[in-house]
Structure 1
Amino acid sequence: MPTAEASTTVEDVVRRRRGDLVELSHSIHVEPELAFAEHRSCAKTQALVAERGFAVTAKPGGLDTAFRAEFGSGALVVGICAEYDALPGIGHACGHNIIAASAVGTALALAEVADELDLTVVLLGTPAEESGGGKALMLEAGTFDDVATTVMLHAGPLDIARARSLALSQVAVEYTGRAAHAAVAPYLGLNAADAITVSQVAIGLLRQQLAPGQMVHGIVTDGGQATNVIPARTEMHFTMRANDSQSLTELEGRMSDCFLAGAVATGCGHRVEATEPSYLELTPDTWLADVFRDEMRRLGRTPVAAEFEAALPLGSTDMGNVTQVMPGIHPIVGIDAEGASVHQPGFATAAAGPSADEAVVEGAVMLARTVVALATTPAERDRVLALKAARP
C-alpha cells in the first residue's frame, strides 16, 4: 500500500471514530483513578480495541491495571502507550485521559493497514506514570521485548514535537530518635523533627550550587503527632531531577550527605529508601519527531521550532526509560487551558474541553500517520528493525 493511501486511510479511521474516542476521554476524565488503582480506566481503554479484534493480555508484568492488546502479525512491531492515571486531589490535571483516548485512536487506525504495511500493532496500557513507574516495571518484566518502536503523546500548553524530560528519582527519608516530654525532660529526647529541619536547611543551601538542570523538591509526610512530645519518628519524601542519568547520580550523592547531616546533628538514626523506579531522561528519535512536526504543521498547528525544543523541560516521565531502549517519541500536543499548565486545576478542567477533544483526534491522526511513514520508508524501517535485532 503506498504511503499516501495508507496515511489517508488511518486519518479517515480516526475521524470516523471521533465520537467514540471523545466519549472515552471524557469517561476516563470524570472518574479519575490514582496509580495502580486505575481499574475502571484500564477496562475502558481496552474496550474499543477488544471490539475491533485485538488480542488482549491482562496484567502484563503482574500489574493489575496494565494490559497489552495486539493486532496483526507483521515484522515491524509498533507499541503505542496509553496512560490513564490521575493526580491526588486534582484529577486529570496532566491530561492522561487525552493520552489514553489518542492511543486507542492510533491503534484502531493502524489496525486498518496492519496487513498491508507488515505491522504488528500493540496497544500498551501503562499504569502509574505519575507515581510508580509502570513503564519501567513493564520493561523489566519483558512486556516491551518484541517491540521495535514505541509512540505516545501528551497534552500541554504548547505543541512540541521533540519533547524532552528530566531524569528523576524519589526517596523516602525516615529519622528515628527518642520521645520525651517537651517541657518536663526535653533533654532526654532525640528530636527527629529537628533532623528534618537540619536536612532541609542543608538542602536549601545546596540549591545554590546545583548544576544546570538539577532540581530537588520535597514534602514532610510525618512531622510528629503532638507539640508536647519530642518526635521519635519523622519522614519526608524528596524528588531529585537532572538533565541526564549521570547528573542525577551526582545529585543523589550530594542529597545523601544532606540527609545524613540531619542525623549526625541530632543523634538520630536515619534510613533512605527509593519509593519507585528511577525515570530516565527522554531521548526522542529525531526522524520520528521530525515527521510528527510536519504532521503538526499539516494540521495547522504551530510547533515550537526545533532549535528551541531543548530549552523546554517537561518534568519527568517513565516513557524516558522506553526511549533509552528503543526509538520512540513523546510529543506534546497543545490544548487551550487559559494560561494553566499541567498539574494545575485549570488544566484538569481544560482536559475535557473542546481543544482537548481536538487533541485526542488530531493526536491520533498524527501518531498514526507518523507510524505509516516509518513503515513505508525502507531505510528508516530497516534502521528501527536493526536496532531491535541488536538489543540484548
Structure 2
Amino acid sequence: MSDALKQRIVAQRERIDDDLVALSNRLHGDPELGWQEHRSSAAVAAVLASHGFAVEQPYLGLETAFRATLGDPESAGFTVGFLAEYDALPGLGHACGHNLIAAMSAGGAIALAAVADELGIAVEVIGTPAEEGGGGKIELLERGAFTELDLALMAHPAPVDVAEARPFAVAHWHVQFDGVAAHAAAYPERGVNANDAFIIAQTAIALLRQQLPSGVRVHGVQTRGGEAPNAIPERTEGRWYVRAETMEQLLALESRVLRCFEAGALASGAKLTVTSESKRYAEMRTDAEALAVYRANAVALGRDFDVPPEAATMNRASTDMGNVSAVVDAIHPYIGVGGEASNHQPAFADACVGPIAEQTLRDGATALAWTALDVARTRGHSA
C-alpha cells in the first residue's frame, strides 16, 4: 500500500515539475535579502495557492512570511509542515541555495497533497524570512507559529548529501565604535581613532582563539573602517558571529568575546555599541526516527550519503531551524548539488540552477513528501 501511495506522490510531483523549476529559477534570478523578500515570498505562495492551498500573507505580522494550508489541523490525525526559505546573501545572491529550499518544500507539500486527505494528514507550508542572520523562524516562533505541527521538515542544498544537521548555536552582533574625527597630520592629538579600537579588538579575539574550546567559532567582517586616509576615523562598524556547540556554551562564551571589543574601546578611548542582529540560533534537536526515514527514502531515489567527511561539513552551519526543533519534531537534511563549490561561494549560486540542481529539486521534494507520509502513517491517529 505504501508503495502505491508513494507512486501517486511521484506522479503528482511529476505533474508540477515545470512549475517547481520555474519557481526556483525565478527566485534565483531575482534574489532578495532578508526581511525584503516581497516578490520571492509572493511567488512561492502563488504556486501553492494555484494548487489548492489557502494562503495567509502576511503571517503573524511579518510582511514576507506566509502560511499555506491544506486540510484542517484540528481534525487531522497528523499535521506536517514544510518550511520554505527564500532570502539571499548580500552580494552573492542565492549562494546558499534558498531558491531550491523554497521549491523543494512547496513541491513536497503539493505532492503529499495527492494522498493527504484520505489519510487524515493536514499539510502546511510556512514561508520563513531572513534565515541568513535575521532569525525569521525565531520571530515566528515567538508569535505562536509551528506549535500545531507534528513534524517540521525541509532540505538544504549543499555540495553533497548529509543526513543529519549538526549546526552551531550562534549569536549575531553588529559592533560599532564611535571616536572623534581629526586631521591625521595636522591635529592627530585631537582625534579618537575608532579604527584603532577595531584593530585592538580583532587582535584580542585572535589571541583568545587559542584558549577557546574545540569547535567554537568567532568570526566577522569590518563593514566600515573610515572615510579618508587623512582623517582619523570617527566611526567604524562590523558584523560578528559567535558560535558554539550548544546554547549553554554560547551564553558562557559571549562575555569573553565581548571583553575583546571592550578592550578596543578602553585602549583607544572610543565608545562601543554592540547590538544583536537577531535572537540567538539554537543547536538542532533532530528527530532521529524521522531522519532515518528520510535517509532511506533518499537512498531509494538514488541519493548517496557515502561521502568523505571533509566534504560533508555544511551540516555544521547554523540555522534558526534549530530553534524550531526545540519545540517541534524536526529534520533538516542536506541534499547535494554536486560540483567543487561550497555554500556562500559565487560558484555555488551557479550550481543551484541547471540540470543537476533540477534533479536535486525533484529528489528533495519527493524524499520530503515520502518522509512525511511514512512518519504520518506511523504516528498519525487516522493515517
Q: 2:296 aligns with which of 275, 294, 297?
A: 294
Q: Which amino acid aligns with 1:78?
A: V
Measure the CA separation in 2 of the matches of 1:310 and 1:48.
32
Secondary structure of the structure 2 residue equivalent to 1:264 = helix
Retained in 2: the 8 A contact 1:132–1:276?
yes
Match of 1:269 in 2: 271
1:17-63 deviation digits (Å, cap 9, x = unpaired): 21211121111111111111112211111122212221110011221
- CA distance in 2: counterparts of 1:301 and 1:211, whole angstroms: 35
1:364 alignment counterpart: 365
Equivalenced residue count is 378
Report the CA distance between 1:306 and its aligned residue: 12
- Residue 5 of structure 1 and its aligned partner are, at CA, apart by 2.9
Superposed displacement of residue 106, structure 1:
0.8
SS of the residue 1:261 aligns to: helix
Q: Could you tell me how far apart the structure 2 residues matched to 1:318 and 1:304 are?
A: 27
Q: Secondary structure at the match of 2:229?
A: coil
Using the TM superposition, name which of 219-228 and 191-200 deviates more.
219-228
Q: Deviations over 1:132-157 (max 9, x none)?
A: 11111111111223222200001111
Partner of 1:60: 59
- CA offsets, 1:98-144, max 9 Å, x none? 11111111111122222222111111111111131111111111122
Report if the CA contact (8 A) 1:164-1:310 is conserved: no
Give TM-score scaled by structure 1 length: 0.92
Partner of 2:78: 76
Corresponding residue for 1:280? Answer: 282
Q: Distance in 2 between matches of 1:267 and 1:340?
A: 43
Distance 1:178 1:306 in 2: 52
Once residues 306 and 381 of structure 1 are traced to their aligned partners in structure 2, the CA distance between those partners, rounded to angstroms, is: 37
Question: Which segment is superposed worse, 197-206 or 234-243?
Answer: 234-243
CA drift at 1:231: 2.1
Q: Indicate the RMSD between aligned Cα atoms, in angstroms.
A: 2.0
Aligned to 1:350: 351
Q: Give matches, 1:82-161, under 5 Å.
A: 82-161=84-163
Which ranges of structure 2 fall in alignment gaps of 5 or more residues? none
CA deviation digits over 1:157-207, x for unaligned, max 9?
A: 111112221111111122122222222222222211111111011011111
- Displacement of 1:11 in angstroms is 2.0
Q: Name the residue aligned to 1:390.
A: none
Contact 2:88–2:98 under 8 Å retained in 1? yes
CA distance in 2, matches of 1:163, 1:21: 25
Contact kept? 2:161, 2:312, Cα under 8 Å: no
Residue 183 of structure 2 corresponds to which residue in structure 1? 181
| Residues 77-106 of structure 1: CA deviation (Å, up to 9, x unaligned) | 211011111112221111111111111111
Report the Cα offset of residue 307 of structure 1: 10
Verify: 1:38 aligned to 2:40, yes or no: no
Give me the whole-angstrom Cα distance separating, in 2, the residues matched to 1:155 and 1:223: 34
Of all paired residues, the percent bearing the same amino acid is: 45
Q: TM-score, normalised by structure 2?
A: 0.94
Kindly provide the amino acid, as one letter, of the partner of residue 77 in structure 1: T
Task: Give the distance between the partners of 1:309 and 1:280, measured in 2 at CA.
Answer: 24
Deviation per residue, 1:309-354 (Å, 9 max, x gap): 9976431111111111111111111112x20011111111110021
Structure 2 residue matching 1:22: 3-state secondary structure? helix
SS at match of 2:206: helix
Q: Are residues 182 and 176 of structure 1, via their aligned partners in 2, closer, same or farther at CA, if it must alter by over 3 Å? A: same
* In 2: Cα distance, 1:306 partner to 1:288 partner: 24
1:243 Cα offset (Å): 1.4
Equivalences for residues 228-377 of structure 1 within 5 A: 228-304=230-306, 313-336=315-338, 338-377=339-378
The change in CA–CA distance for 1:11 and 1:38 in structure 2 (over 3 A counts) is: same
Q: Does 1:18 align with 2:17?
A: yes
